[in-house]
Structure 1
Amino acid sequence: MPDAQGATEVQGSAVPDAREATEVRDPAVPGARESTEARRPDSVRAHNTALVLGLLRTGRLVSRADLARETGLSLPTVMDIVERLCAQGLVRQAGSGTPAGGRPPRLYEFTPGSRMALGISIGTATTTALLTDLNATVLHEVREPSRLREGPEACVEQVTRLLDVLLARGAERQGTVIGIGLAVAAHLRDSEGRRLRPWDDPGLAPLDLRALVAERYGVPVDLDNYAKAVAVGEHRFGAARGHRHVLCVVLQDGVGAALITGGALHRGWDGAAGRFGATLVPGPDGERTTLDAVAGAAGIVARAARAMRAASGAADPGAGSSNGAGTSNTADPAGTSGAGSMSPSDPMSPSGARPVRSAASPSSLAEVCAAAEEGNPGAVLALREVGELLGDAVHNACMLADPEVVVLTGPTVVAAGDHLVGPTTRAVTGGGRRRVVTGALGERAGAIGAVALLLRNSFIDPLRVSTG
């Protein structure tokens, strides 16, 4: 183990994993590995434990009888689970309830600070690393310019260095780290082992970052695409918490999306689901183009420049471009739709500097949004048109997937605000019951999502019953 870990205990898994995984971990014996023969009984126990933890992590004080009633498990099973969780420190007794004719029932609560997790979002512009508790409460954060585009060696150096820093912080807290989640700005396929290929040089071999990190640190590691991580984070800890069917749309350099169905992430046939930016939509001149080219940052800037020049009576040098938006179909040149990171240093970050430029020559999304806030008609028109086109695409996706809530997130959503979100929402809801909300995790969405990837099968949240 790296020296930076200090006295931090790094443990195979103290939190149960409800998946039918290759390795099934015994939640009663942290780090233990069960044999193939014992896998099925242990998977049932892990699933039942995740049900109990899912109820406890809602913050309520509950008795064992309450847990049995709400999970449908037998009281002896719940008593065994609670006893094991208390022994691990994941749950503790928190007083007594009101008696119903006998002894007062013991009440229990979840203790998220009993363990820690590491999450890293590796974007095209920024890499963000977090040390959190089991409720994704941030204990320490490191953010710096991303080295992803520099090649595999630079990427590995940055990731391991940041992990060492976080582990050192964990050592100061004398805590136990249960695993590492990684969210990466790249398209990933299960058939390729989710290896990274985000480099322009075809001579560079794909990087198995998940295996490398797991071998170096000896803990469970989960890795997935940025948009999928954000969706799991918003579902587990953010704007879609408690819902079972969620469509999450991420707007930044390109457009990505991910679907939560029945409370689980939908990854598709080869793990590549979510390339929403490749959806074909009409361009301004009636031609077909991609959603990336229209609603990615570069496409919005190009459209706004045309509209602002038209509003000011200037000539349009972008007319006749290949996609009708004043730009070629390269809004996402690295092929990382739905992948990336938000940072104060990014030009489209809501917390970064937003230069005010109302002239008909915007060079960044921040300038377009600033002009719209000032009432520039061209900028307002461009954002509204993009919102309507995005809304049509999201509406079509909703007709296929039938989510109960749509989460719009990413730096473009934060920067453009209701100029874009309003038209999108109207196109999606159409006065119906489906809700459209903006993301709640902000600039940390990718890294918190990485933590959520790691923990997503450790807690099975109770169903939220819709009454509207």
Structure 2
Amino acid sequence: MNTTSRPGSPAGLRDANRRRVLDAVRGAGAPTQAEIAGVTGLAPATVSNIVRDLAAAGRVEAGDEVRGGRRVRAVRLVRRAGVVAGIDVGHRHVRVALADVADPAGAVDHAAPPERVEVRADLPDDHGVADGLDTASRLLDEVLARTGARRAALRGAVVGLPAPLDLATGAVGASGVLPGWVGVPVAGRVAEHLGVPSWVDNDATLGTLAEQRWGALRGVDDGLFLKLSDGVGAGLVLGGRLYRGPDGTAGEIGHVAVAPGDRFAAVCRCGHRGCLETLVSTRTVTAMLEPLLGAPLTIADVVARAHDGSSGSAPARRVLADTGHHVGVALAGLCTVLTPRRIVVGGELAQAGPLLLAPLHAALEAAAVPGTVRTAEVVTADLAEHAPVLGALALALERCALAP
């Protein structure tokens, strides 16, 4: 049975009113019920009932205080009502962040991300589910220890993966993109591993959600988030709403062929030739420069060399400019159709800033239908490489905020 509260339904209205009260309490610190009513516009009796329900659920506490010589009854959030985890699994890394449910109750509507503890570890190439979940579990224990929270306080987790997902089963659907995870119902495996409700989503989609809530896509009705890392993906905001497509695979721009028909183009891990990812992934960028600049290289190394004026500066700048050009060409058709007002570039390659963005925008203007990108801003992500894990936290908070 579907128990989701629909907007406009009695349950949906009750949930919305609870969010308004929680936001009012968080924003004011310790307001009275009368002050909550004034901020939210809810009737005092409604506020009283909601506060009573939230107190019974352990979300808030009400107590007497003396203010200005008179006794008032103040409402406060209960600290440590629980924690949620965001887990970002990449092609070669896993990142885990932990946030307090009580502190950012409704924080998905605030201007800044929730306070969090975040850790990262490397993963081997072509890692499987066991590697990823074991490392994530170890990192989760680390952040729990840092915050003093027990595993029993964990109320839910969201995992982001760099691959197309079957939203009905939560399984990785494309055989070549994340081969060690194909066909595995990841949400179920995570739930079993951690013992809490768990959800799974595409990492670029989660990055889009984070930038929409707290970053460069905030207030943008039509925009695009582009993640340029080991994998390449995009997320779309259309009409102010996150767009996933009918089967959840919208935004897989990394596997758009930019060299169709070229039988000598590089073979992508998805099995096709000439995909954008084969030209612009971080692995490709560093591999092109390591014979010239020395190995191993990171994108931070490449950007530093591009700026330092050394003999390696020109090759580094050339590769970053070519990368931006390839991305702009790939985006041109999408921009011609959707006319986004802002394109946000995230992931490791966003460190390149104008070295990447200027040629990207130039290629867009040259390849898109004239006028369709004239008003489109191209900017770097506010949340940098943290966007996917922050999006995972946002979704986890959203799913768990009103749970009993």
TM-score normalised to structure 2 length:
0.70
> Where does residue 360 of structure 2 map in the other structure?
424
For residue 15 of structure 2, the aligned residue among 17, 42, 46 is 46
Taking the aligned partners of 1:246 and 1:239, their CA distance within structure 2 comes to: 10
> Where does residue 69 of structure 2 map in the other structure?
none
For residue 444 of structure 1, the aligned residue among 380, 386, 401 is 386
* Residue identity matched to 1:374: D
Relative to its length, the structure with more helix (as a share) is 2
The answer to whether the 8 A contact 2:96-2:140 is kept is: yes
Instruction: Look up the SS of the partner of 1:64 in the other structure.
Output: helix
For residue 275 of structure 2, the aligned residue among 287, 290, 314 is 290
* Cα distance per residue 1:42-83 (max 9 Å; x no partner): 234224444665687778997534433xxxx77865665466
Does structure 1 residue 382 correspond to structure 2 residue 319?
Answer: yes
| 1:141 positional shift | 3.1
- Residues 296 and 67 of structure 1, relative CA distance in 2, 3 Å threshold: same
Taking the aligned partners of 1:211 and 1:199, their CA distance within structure 2 comes to: 22
* Cα distance per residue 1:204-246 (max 9 Å; x no partner): 8732231133245443312112211222122223333344443
* Residue identity matched to 1:451: L
The answer to whether the 8 A contact 1:233-1:452 is kept is: yes
Taking the aligned partners of 2:28 and 2:249, their CA distance within structure 1 comes to: 35
The answer to whether the 8 A contact 2:91-2:231 is kept is: no
Taking the aligned partners of 2:196 and 2:329, their CA distance within structure 1 comes to: 43
> Where does residue 342 of structure 1 map in the other structure?
none
The answer to whether the 8 A contact 1:253-1:298 is kept is: yes
Higher RCO (C-alpha 8 Å, min separation 6): 1
Taking the aligned partners of 2:339 and 2:62, their CA distance within structure 1 comes to: 40
Does structure 1 residue 278 correspond to structure 2 residue 255?
Answer: yes
The answer to whether the 8 A contact 1:240-1:405 is kept is: yes
| 1:248 positional shift | 0.7
* Cα distance per residue 1:430-460 (max 9 Å; x no partner): 885443332222343332221122134678x
> Where does residue 129 of structure 1 map in the other structure?
96
Instruction: Look up the SS of the partner of 1:222 in the other structure.
Output: strand
Q: Which moved more, 1:432-441 or 1:110-119?
A: 110-119
- Residues 67 and 127 of structure 1, relative CA distance in 2, 3 Å threshold: same
| 1:252 positional shift | 1.0
> Where does residue 16 of structure 1 map in the other structure?
none
| 1:277 positional shift | 1.0
Instruction: Look up the SS of the partner of 1:130 in the other structure.
Output: strand
> Where does residue 22 of structure 1 map in the other structure?
2
> Where does residue 343 of structure 2 map in the other structure?
406
Does structure 1 residue 227 correspond to structure 2 residue 227?
Answer: no
Q: Which moved more, 1:54-63 or 1:201-210?
A: 54-63
| 1:402 positional shift | 4.1
Aligned pairs, number: 361
The answer to whether the 8 A contact 1:186-1:198 is kept is: no
Q: Percent identity?
A: 30
The answer to whether the 8 A contact 2:86-2:158 is kept is: yes
* Cα distance per residue 1:184-220 (max 9 Å; x no partner): 2333122543357778998987322311332454433
Instruction: Look up the SS of the partner of 2:258 in the other structure.
Output: strand
The answer to whether the 8 A contact 1:149-1:199 is kept is: no
For residue 238 of structure 2, the aligned residue among 261, 275, 299 is 261
CA RMSD of aligned residues (A): 4.6
Instruction: Look up the SS of the partner of 1:289 in the other structure.
Output: coil
Taking the aligned partners of 1:113 and 1:424, their CA distance within structure 2 comes to: 45
Q: Summarize the alignment of residues 296-311 of structure 1 with structure 2, pairs less than 5 Å apart.
A: 296-301=281-286
> Where does residue 250 of structure 1 map in the other structure?
227
For residue 142 of structure 1, the aligned residue among 113, 119, 123 is 119
- Residues 175 and 442 of structure 1, relative CA distance in 2, 3 Å threshold: farther
The answer to whether the 8 A contact 2:166-2:248 is kept is: yes
| 1:408 positional shift | 0.8
- Residues 75 and 437 of structure 1, relative CA distance in 2, 3 Å threshold: farther
| 1:428 positional shift | 5.7
Instruction: Look up the SS of the partner of 1:231 in the other structure.
Output: helix
